[in-house]
Amino acid sequence: MQLSDLIIDDRHQARFKVHRSAFVSDEILALERERVFSKCWLYLGHSSELKKPGDFISRRVGGRPLLYTRGKDNALHALYNTCPHRGALVCRERSGNRRAFTCGYHAWTFDDCGRFLGMPGREALPPEATEDGKLDLVEVERMEEFRGFVFVCFDRNAMPLRDYLAGAAEYLEYVADQGRDGMEIVTGTQDYCVNANWKLLQENSADGYHGVPTHSTYFDYIRSRDNSNFGGMNAKGWVKNLGNGHAVSESIGLLPWGRPYARWAPGWGEEAKAEVETLNREIMQRLGPERGNVVANGDRNLLIFPNLVVNDVMATTIRTFYPVRPDHMEVSAWCIAPTGESESSRDRRLRNFVEFLGPAGFATPDDVEMLELCQRGYANAASAPYNDLSRGMLSNAPTKTDELQMRTFWRRWHQLVADDAARELTGP
């Protein structure tokens, strides 16, 4: 299989096919590590996660163990968590607050900005050995922040983050604008895994077509709780190509669940109604009725290439995932919420989040199941070689139940993996 043949993008016959070797091949995963995960901007964390100097989080990004710190200079740092001496992780804790990190192996010590502080028996090395940062922790090549969302890139020559985000920046701003006093990550991470190729989760995360068949039991729950008669398939909304492989599926006000900021649902009860209406008014006043309506009443599944999902739905989740093997990914998901939110609103948000989202919600486990069934099915790839993603190719106004959002991802993926900049990123 030639790399150029992995995708059939036939615009005349409205046919879009992805060859299943993309999900099972070790060679393709190796190319992805080199051409996608080592070249693209990847989500590291949110600035709110490190509140004061010395705060740190150790986190794997793109398969690489990183140390994300707020240094004594009060700036954010992204460091490779590996000792310049023999390579051991210098930090084994998941998070905390430290002035210094000491490697357990030979006790080399580094400050919270990654600078070398000391080692036992310093005199055995020449004085210049530690000059000019030569024995500092290595800094990640690039780190940039957009409205609190912090990204890293392992390619020193990458374009600036803001340019990379292209049209997706506007959609991150709809999240950043929810809280009058900014946004913060709530404690508690949903760390799980899926025995499936990582790209299947990017596809799934903005796939409106699977909503009703895969998640009928979730809609049963909403109907039972709210005495509603939501039919599901009328919430078509729209999808957009946001450039650089990013896409969004969106609708305003059509979906049956409540949004903590700020669309009330009957299941929350009358006592919640007054508070949600007050929050809604505050957003409308601050942002104006048009933008306020988008922020408060819009439901969005935002895909940022290659592996960041921001689902701004019954709660707002940030989700990222990495391949460990072609058939296995690790997933981490967080809840982002307005800073200073009232206790009652925060409680409503957290209840709402897990009614659908997360590995024990009423929906995500069934997504995991479906992705794993796809992966099992790819054992037949030699005889049944293609996935079909052609829905809506003839439409001028593709909806959430079409597949433009996946085609947008795959076109960018193909451009990078086949190393062919001439490939069209736009298209039906």
Partner 1 sequence: MKLSRSDAEDFLIRETALLDSWKLMEWADLFTEDGEYLVPATDDPEGKAGKSLFLIYDDRHRLGERAKRLLKPTAHSEFPHSRTRHMISNVTTAEGDNGAIPVSCNFVVFRSRMEVTNIYPGHAEYLLVQGGDGLRIRSKKAVLDVDALRPHGKISIIL
Using CB under 8 A, which of 214, 228, 293, 297 touches partner 1? 214
**Residue placing its CB nearer to partner 1 in the complex, 218 or 410:** 218
By CB under 8 A, tell whether 63 contacts partner 1: no
By CB under 8 A, tell whether 186 contacts partner 1: yes
Using CB under 8 A, which of 10, 155, 170, 191 touches partner 1? 191
Among residue numbers 18 through 37, which ones bind partner 1 (CB under 8 A)? Answer: none
**Residue by residue, what is the 3-state secondary structure of the chain?**
CCHHHCEEEECCCCEEEEECHHHHCHHHHHHHHHHHHCCCCEEEEEHHHCCCCCEEEEEEECCEEEEEEECCCCCEEEEECCCCCCCCCCCCCCEEECCEEECCCCCCEEECCCCEEECCCHHHCCHHHHHHHCCCCCECCEEEEECCEEEEECCCCCCCHHHHHCCHHHHHHHHHCCCCCCEEECCCCEEEEECCCHHHHHHHCCCHHHHHHHHHHHHHHHHHHHCCCCCCCCCCCEEEEEECCEEEEEEECCCCCCECCCECCHHHCHHHHHHHHHHHHHHHHHHCHHHHHHHHHEEEEEEECCCEEEEECCCEEEEEEEEEECCEEEEEEEEEEECCCCHHHHHHHHHHHHHHCCCCCCCHHHHHHHHHHHHHHHHHCCCCCEEECCCCCCCCCCCCCCCHHHHHHHHHHHHHHCCCCCCCCCCC
Q: How far is the CB of 60 from partner 1 (least distance, A)?
A: 11
- Report how far residue 346's alpha carbon sits from residue 380's, in angstroms, rounded to the nearest whole number: 46
Among residue numbers 336 through 355, which ones bind partner 1 (CB under 8 A)? Answer: 343, 346-347, 350-351, 353-355
**Residue placing its CB nearer to partner 1 in the complex, 251 or 352:** 352
- The piece of 19-27, 182-190, 247-255, 397-405 that touches partner 1 (CB under 8 A) is 182-190
Q: How far is the CB of 276 from partner 1 (least distance, A)?
A: 17
- Candidates 309, 299, 315; CA nearest to 400 is 299
For residue 116, give both structure tokens: 């070398």
**Residue placing its CB nearer to partner 1 in the complex, 85 or 225:** 225
**Residue placing its CB nearer to partner 1 in the complex, 141 or 330:** 330
Q: How far is the CB of 176 from partner 1 (least distance, A)?
A: 19
Q: How far is the CB of 27 from partner 1 (least distance, A)?
A: 25
Q: How far is the CB of 310 from partner 1 (least distance, A)?
A: 15
Among residue numbers 309 through 338, which ones bind partner 1 (CB under 8 A)? Answer: 330, 334-335
Q: Residues 336, 353: contact at Cβ < 8 Å?
A: no
- The piece of 106-114, 160-168, 271-279, 368-376 that touches partner 1 (CB under 8 A) is 368-376
Using CB under 8 A, which of 117, 141, 221, 284 touches partner 1? 221
By CB under 8 A, tell whether 360 contacts partner 1: yes
- The piece of 128-136, 164-172, 173-181, 192-200 that touches partner 1 (CB under 8 A) is 192-200
Q: How far is the CB of 302 from partner 1 (least distance, A)?
A: 19
Using CB under 8 A, which of 43, 68, 362, 410 touches partner 1? 362
By CB under 8 A, tell whether 387 contacts partner 1: no
By CB under 8 A, tell whether 364 contacts partner 1: yes
Binding site for partner 1 (CB under 8 A): 94, 186-195, 214, 216-218, 220-221, 224-225, 330, 334-335, 343, 346-347, 350-351, 353-355, 358-360, 362, 364-366, 368-370, 372
